[in-house]
Amino acid sequence: MNPIIQQFFNYVKKPHAFFDENLTLKEKWKTLGWILGLSFILVFCATPLIALVDSFIIPLKQDTFEEIISNMGVVPILFLVAVAAPILEELVFRLFLKYERNFIFRGIDLLCNNWLQQFWKKHFHFFFYLSTLLFGLVHIGNYDNSSMLFYIVAPILVLPQLIVGLTLGFLRMKLGFLWGVLMHGLYNFILVGASLLLFNNISFSEINNDDVTLKIEAIEMGLNQASTSNIYKTNQVVDSVIVTNYKVNELGKQLFPTDSSLLKNNKRINLRFINHSKETEAHLIIAEELKEYYAKE
C-alpha cells in the first residue's frame, strides 16, 4: 500500500495533534494528490449505499441545494462550491483542530494555567472525530426529507461527507489549514465541474398524435436561464402550454390547483403542449405524464 494512504488509515485509527515532519513542497503536493484520489475512491464505494436507501427504504428529496444553485450561472456555481464553501467550512470545522488556532480554548486557558491544552492533547481524538461528525451531519440539509425514518438512516446518507471529513482532517493536521482548503476546493470543483459538463436535460415524455402534441424535459440545472410560462386558453379549453425552466408546482397551481402531488414538486421542466382536438380535458395528460415520471417524489 502507498505509504501516504497507509499513514492516513493509521491516523484515522488513532488521531493525534502533532506531526513531526518537514515536507518539501513537492511532497506536500504528492500527499494532497494521493489523499484527494483516495477520497474519490472511498466516496465512490459508499455511494451505492445511498442508492439502496433511496430505492428500498425512503425516497430521498435532494431539493435544498438544487434550489440554491438552480438559477445560478456556471461561474457563480463554481465559485460557491470551490471557493466560498471550502473556506467557510474549513474555518468552522477544522481550523480549531490545531490548538494554536483554537482561540476559544486558548482564551479560557489564560485563566486555567494551560490545563485545557493538556486536556486537548489527551483527548484530541474525540475532537477530531467530533469535527468530522458535525461536518457530515450538517450536510443532512442537502435533503428535503423530514420523517423519523429519514433521520434514522441519516448516517448512511452523509457517509460521503464523513469520509471527506476524515481525509480533510488528516490533511489539515499533516500539511496545514490552507492545504485543507485547497483540497476541499479541488474536490468540490472536480465533482461539480464534472456534473456541469456531463448533465443533460432528460426528455421523458413525447407524444404526437391527432389529439395532442406533448414534449416534457426534466431539467438538471437551470443555469441562470429565464423561467417562463405561457398558457393559452379558449373559454375553458387549454389550447397550448409552453414553459421553460419552470417549476412543476408552479405549473400545477395554474393548471391543476387541486392536485396535491404536483403542488409539492419543485423540480424544473421544459414543456410544450398543443391541443389539436380542442377537447376540454386534453391537458390532463400533462398531469398524468408528470406524476408518472416523478412518482417517487
The predicted pLDDT at position 67 comes to: 66
Taking residues 218-224, report their average pLDDT: 74
The predicted pLDDT at position 242 comes to: 97
Confidence of residue 261 (pLDDT cuts 50, 70, 90): confident
Residue 68 to residues 83, 188, 222, 265, 266, Cα–Cα distance (Å): 16, 16, 11, 16, 12
Cβ–Cβ < 8 Å for 95, 58: no
The predicted pLDDT at position 296 comes to: 52
Strands 268-275, 237-247: parallel, antiparallel or unpaired by DSSP?
Answer: antiparallel
The predicted pLDDT at position 224 comes to: 63
Sheet of 202-208, strand order: 202-208, 212-219, 268-275, 237-247, 228-234
Confidence of residue 20 (pLDDT cuts 50, 70, 90): confident
Cβ–Cβ < 8 Å for 168, 90: yes
Confidence of residue 168 (pLDDT cuts 50, 70, 90): very high
What CA–CA distance (Å, rounded) separates 152 from 154?
A: 6
Cell 431539467 identifies what position?
219
What percentage of residues in the chain have a pLDDT greater than 70?
Answer: 94
Asked whether the predicted pLDDT for residue 18 surpasses 90, the reply is no
The predicted pLDDT at position 64 comes to: 63
Taking residues 115-132, report their average pLDDT: 92
The predicted pLDDT at position 264 comes to: 75
Residue 226 to residues 44, 72, 244, Cα–Cα distance (Å): 34, 11, 7
Arithmetic mean of pLDDT over the chain: 90
The predicted pLDDT at position 227 comes to: 85
The predicted pLDDT at position 200 comes to: 66
Confidence of residue 294 (pLDDT cuts 50, 70, 90): confident
The full length of the chain comes to 297
Nearest of 273, 275, 253 to residue 262 by alpha carbon: 253
| Residue, of 66 and 191, whose pLDDT is higher | 191
Partners of 229 in the β-ladder: 243
What CA–CA distance (Å, rounded) separates 271 from 274?
A: 10
pLDDT tens-place string over residues 45-86? 999 999 899 888 988 876 666 666 766 778 888 999 999 999
Give me the half-sphere count of Cα atoms (radius 13 Å) on the Cβ side of residue 243. 25
In this prediction the pTM is 0.81
The predicted pLDDT at position 28 comes to: 97
Cβ–Cβ < 8 Å for 196, 74: yes
Asked whether the predicted pLDDT for residue 219 surpasses 80, the reply is yes
The predicted pLDDT at position 220 comes to: 75
Nearest of 140, 141, 144 to residue 156 by alpha carbon: 140
